[in-house]
Amino acid sequence: MSKTAVWWRRLVVCGLIFSILTCSLVLKPKEQKVVLTFGMFAGNQWDVPDDDCYRIIDETIEEFEKKYPNVTIRYDSGILKDDYSEWLSQKAIDGELPDVFMVLSEDFNTFSSVGVLKNLDSLIAKDPSFHEEDYYQGSYREGECEGSQYALPYESVPTLMFVNKTLLEKENIAMPKEDWTWEDFYEICKKVTKDTDGDGKVDQYGVYGYKWKNALYSNGASLFNKAGTKCNLTGEEVEESILFTKKINELSGFSNPTSNDFDTGKVAFQPMKFSEFRTYKPYPWKINKYFEFEWDCIKLPTGPSGESKSDVDNLLIGINNRSKNSQMAWKFLKELTYNRDTQEKLFRYSQGISPLKDVTNSKKAEKILDEYMGEDTIVKVELLNEVMEQAEEKPKFREYDTIMEYIDNEILKLMMLEEGFDENIQKIKNDIDDMLKK
């Protein structure tokens, strides 16, 4: 065979291989069906009853599959919230983690630092249609760890102060204004706390379930520095919060109110999550609770040290770090957390509110809330908007949850003690600083 013939044959083979490759590159992706998996738990993060937990997800999946016909989304249903962390962890170890999944706040720090969650920075940077300013910053920052975004907020739940209007009227006390302070709060509690039936025991209380952390946020205090390397426990705002909580709780002496006392209208205030507030109201919960008094909800009272921050819980959704379809996963994540239609459904079917400013602060949201919560609901969208805007940005570091639990325990013990507050709090601070160093 001549040289030319040999070269010709080689050229033909090369061309053949090239065209086959091109075919497989160009044609195959179109034919291929992308299967995305979604991980979620039944119910919700706030332990309130939820009948419609799959409804929003199902509808969103339907919408998404309509938009992208080559994509199928699957999810396992029926995983309880209590089992969810373990279920997700096992899937991660088995390499079967869903492409997109809900992240409980207690898992977020670990999952992002261990590499379960995908760092979304590059996806966000490459997506011109995504603007982080559309989210309430407090909720958005909830998905941030060590300067990078690992998850987006899907649903937010602020904490509000629940007020027993009937009780206040009975005691001739005016409804507190929106900008009420600790002082106002303390005064009202002091007036209300009394023994009404004269048996020598206190049976009407100021507040139920007011925690030092409620005071902390409303006093504009931060427990840690931004980097999460130092504890701020001995800071003035923090100490004030702890002492104020102690003072409030000591009002009723040794008898503390129970939740039943609140339900039967014997307590004036209770800090409550928006989700609880929503689920307790509609039928059938209405019958069991709050039937003998009128109520309202307002912001928590502001502390003396300036700007008031609010405590907002968020349900996050993230992407599997090892997802093979991260682009599609990102689109689905956006469909869930960034799509206005999806987010509006939260008001309709879920218990929280949307972390998107446009959605929460809209007439439509107000209308839906009115519709679903009955005529006597007085939840103002402006209040929600304000609370969301003021949400505390909690620093994210891996040991955050462990350390918070530790602090909580120690502070509870500290509040029981009569003396030695300064020394004890200094000791706790030192312990925590040591823990942070590790």
Partner 1 sequence: MAIERGIMSRNLYYLRLFMSLLNFAILAFLSAVMMVTFNTINENYMARNFLEDISYLPKEATKSTVIVFLTFFLLLYIIEVRKQFKHKSVVSVGIYVIEIILCLIVIRCLYISYNGILLLVVADIVTSIRDKHNRGLFLVIMGLIYIFADYDIVSSIIPTISFEEILSVYSTQYSTLLLGIRNMLVSVNHIAFIAYMIISMKNQMKENARIALLNIQLQTANEQLKEMNEQLKDYAGMREKMGETKERNRIAREIHDTLGHTMTGLSVGIDACIAMIDYSIEGTKKQLNQMSQVARKGIDDIRRSVNKLRPDALEHHNLEEALEKLIEDTVLMSNVQIYYNLQVPELKFNTDEEDMIYRVVQEGITNAIRHGKADNIHVNIKKEDKWLILTIQDDGIGCEEIHTGFGLIHIEERIHMLNGKVSYDGSNGFCIVAKIPIRWSENYD
Q: Which residues pair with 37 in a beta bridge?
A: 74
Question: Which of these ranges, 86-94, 156-164, 248-256, 333-341, lies near partner 1 under the rule CB under 8 A?
Answer: 86-94
Task: Read off the DSSP letter of residue 138.
Answer: H
Closest by alpha carbon to 48, among 315, 270, 280?
280
The sign of the dihedral angle between the CA atoms of 273, 339, 145, 88 is positive
Residue with tokens 């982080």: 132
**In the complex, minimum distance from the CB of residue 110 to partner 1, in angstroms, rounded to a whole number:** 6
Cβ atoms within 10 Å, residue 7: 10
**In the complex, minimum distance from the CB of residue 166 to partner 1, in angstroms, rounded to a whole number:** 45
Can you tell me which of 72, 85, 181, 222 binds partner 1, judged by CB under 8 A?
85
**In the complex, minimum distance from the CB of residue 143 to partner 1, in angstroms, rounded to a whole number:** 18
3-state secondary structure at position 392: coil
Complex with partner 1: residue 115 or 374, whichever CB lies closer? 115
Show the binding pattern over residues 308-347: x = contacts partner 1 (CB under 8 A), - = does not: -------------xx-------------------------
Question: Which of these ranges, 37-45, 56-64, 94-102, 282-290, lies near partner 1 under the rule CB under 8 A?
Answer: 94-102
Closest by alpha carbon to 73, among 103, 33, 38?
38
Question: Which of these ranges, 56-64, 82-90, 164-172, 326-334, lies near partner 1 under the rule CB under 8 A?
Answer: 82-90
CA of 101: how far to CAs of 56, 85, 143, 319, 400, in Å?
15, 11, 13, 6, 21
Under the binding rule (CB under 8 A), the answer on residue 92 touching partner 1 is: yes
Show the binding pattern over residues 35-74: x = contacts partner 1 (CB under 8 A), - = does not: ----------------------------------------
Under the binding rule (CB under 8 A), the answer on residue 86 touching partner 1 is: yes
Cβ atoms within 10 Å, residue 65: 15
Under the binding rule (CB under 8 A), the answer on residue 430 touching partner 1 is: no
- The helix (run of H) or strand (run of E) holding residue 100 is strand 100-103
Can you tell me which of 116, 161, 317, 379 binds partner 1, judged by CB under 8 A?
116
Ranges within 95-114 binding partner 1 (CB under 8 A): 95-96, 107, 110-111, 113-114
| 43 within 8 A of 84, measured Cβ to Cβ | no
* Biggest alpha carbon–alpha carbon distance for the chain: 118
Q: Which residues bind partner 1 (CB under 8 A)?
A: 85-86, 88-90, 92-96, 107, 110-111, 113-116, 321-322
